[in-house]
Copies of this chain bind each other. A is one copy, B any other.
Amino acid sequence: MTVTSPKGFRASGVTAGLKPSGKPDMALVVNDGPLQVAAGRFTGNRVKAAPVKWSQQVLTTGALKAVILNSGGANACTGPEGFQDTHATAEKTAEVLGCGAVEVAVCSTGLIGERLPMDKLLPGVEAAAKALAADGGEQAATAIMTTDTVAKNAAITSPAGWTVGGIAKGAGMLAPGLATMLVVLTTDAVVGQPLADAALGTACRYSLDRLDSDGSMSTNDTVLLLASGASGVEAAADEFIAALTDLCKDLAHQLLSDAEGSTKDVAITVSGAASEDDAVEVARIVARDSLVKTALFGSDPNWGRILAAVGTAKAPFDADAVDVAVNGVWICKAGAAGEPRDLVDLKGRDVAIDIELHHGAASATIWTNDLSHDYVHENSAYST
């Protein structure tokens, strides 16, 4: 149930010594074909890490042989030298795999603003190539972890005979623009590049792009899809899009549940909006409100704070018509107090907030976390 579950892929995870902890820090995913179809989505942040700039460039061909990934350093805000480091990493990977550097995407994650130790990283590429295995997906998932406490793997097999699989990392700065964190998806379905790209776009739109743990957008977010065609089965477009979306939702929820210092997984669903974009806007504003998030940490069904956040949205609706439910109890009706708040049970980790705008037929869900002491602790102590 990982990135090597589909046929035609090998992967590995090794320790190059980039992390002071000595934990695994380099991963390699290789597509052995016969196809080398690829698609990608990247951070909407204008401050893009060197590996993002590189991978965007090589993906213009719509094909990839491999993805080399490292934790222990984001290689973001590192100037032209940082880009040269990424280029050298791709060259080295191409050399050991016997392909061209333009067939190699690069992903990095870790601290922003520091150069990577290339004297350790380049030997790490060789070690990763030597460790490649048809069941190496879970090792790869482990090697891309930063503040993650668990590795994220998933796979779905279609009754038609093809499989989609993936790995992901991400525990902080979790508010993707077009994609989130580092995610490598694979499939052995026979798919053309246009379908691979469209399916990835749709899958991200309804999963990773709706994840907003802490409102902060990374400089390194990358989602890559590699298709080997090794199952020999051509995928029906709608079925492939649905499976890839389900796979990304699975990975997104694994990211959500492991978000830094979180104690709640919160699904904010806005209904009755005039458009889906309006529903996303309102849900995202609530997901990013510190007072709502601290109230959830305190297991406090504070609908007043939810309504105050809703009131700052631009989407059209009548503020005096809004209903709010927390875990199924409609504690706010028509912009004022509704059912008794004592009825709301917030003891569990899962929280559902439903906001009905009564202004249309569109809806959307954003997934977020609470704001806890541990979030403050982890993020005030991470780099020092």
- Residues of A that sit less than 8 Å from B by CB: 44-48, 74, 76-79, 82, 111-114, 172-173, 177, 214-219, 288-291, 294-295, 297-300, 302-305, 307-313, 319-320, 332, 334-337, 371-373, 375-377, 379-384
Can you give 7 A-B contacts (C-beta < 8 A)? A45-B312, A46-B311, A77-B303, A173-B308, A216-B309, A295-B382, A373-B373
Please, which residues of chain B bring their CB within 8 A of the CB of A384?
A: 298-300
Interface-central residue, A111, A299, A304, by most chain B CB under 10 Å: A304
User: A294-B376, A300-B384 are known contacts; what are 20 more A-B pairs with Cβ within 8 Å?
Assistant: A45-B308, A47-B310, A47-B319, A77-B303, A78-B336, A78-B337, A112-B304, A112-B308, A113-B332, A113-B337, A114-B337, A216-B290, A217-B311, A294-B375, A295-B380, A298-B380, A298-B382, A300-B380, A304-B383, A376-B376
Report Cα–Cα, A101/B295, bound state, in Å. 37
A376 touches B371 (CB 8 A): yes
Please, which residues of chain B bring their CB within 8 A of the CB of A371?
A: 290, 376
A376 touches B297 (CB 8 A): yes
Do A335 and B47 contact each other (CB < 8 Å), given the known contacts A300-B380, A376-B372, A376-B373?
Answer: yes
Please, which residues of chain B bring their CB within 8 A of the CB of A290?
A: 214-216, 290, 371, 375, 379
B215 touches A288 (CB 8 A): yes
Of all chain B residues, which has the CB nearest A294?
Answer: B379
A46 touches B294 (CB 8 A): no
Do A336 and B379 contact each other (CB < 8 Å), given the known contacts A172-B291, A309-B216?
Answer: no
B113 touches A304 (CB 8 A): yes
A336 touches B217 (CB 8 A): no
A345 to chain B, nearest CB (A): 14
Report Cα–Cα, A313/B44, bound state, in Å. 10
Do A112 and B379 contact each other (CB < 8 Å), given the known contacts A288-B215, A289-B216, A332-B77?
Answer: no
B308 touches A47 (CB 8 A): yes
A18 to chain B, nearest CB (A): 17
Please, which residues of chain B bring their CB within 8 A of the CB of A302?
A: 383
A218 to chain B, nearest CB (A): 7
A289 to chain B, nearest CB (A): 6
A59 to chain B, nearest CB (A): 20
Interface-central residue, A214, A216, A289, A310, by most chain B CB under 10 Å: A216
Interface-central residue, A74, A113, A217, A302, by most chain B CB under 10 Å: A113
A219 touches B308 (CB 8 A): yes
Please, which residues of chain B bring their CB within 8 A of the CB of A294?
A: 375-376, 379-380
Which one of B82, B291, B308, B309 contacts A336 once the chains associate, using CB atoms below 8 Å? Answer: B82
Please, which residues of chain B bring their CB within 8 A of the CB of A307?
A: 47, 77, 112-113, 219
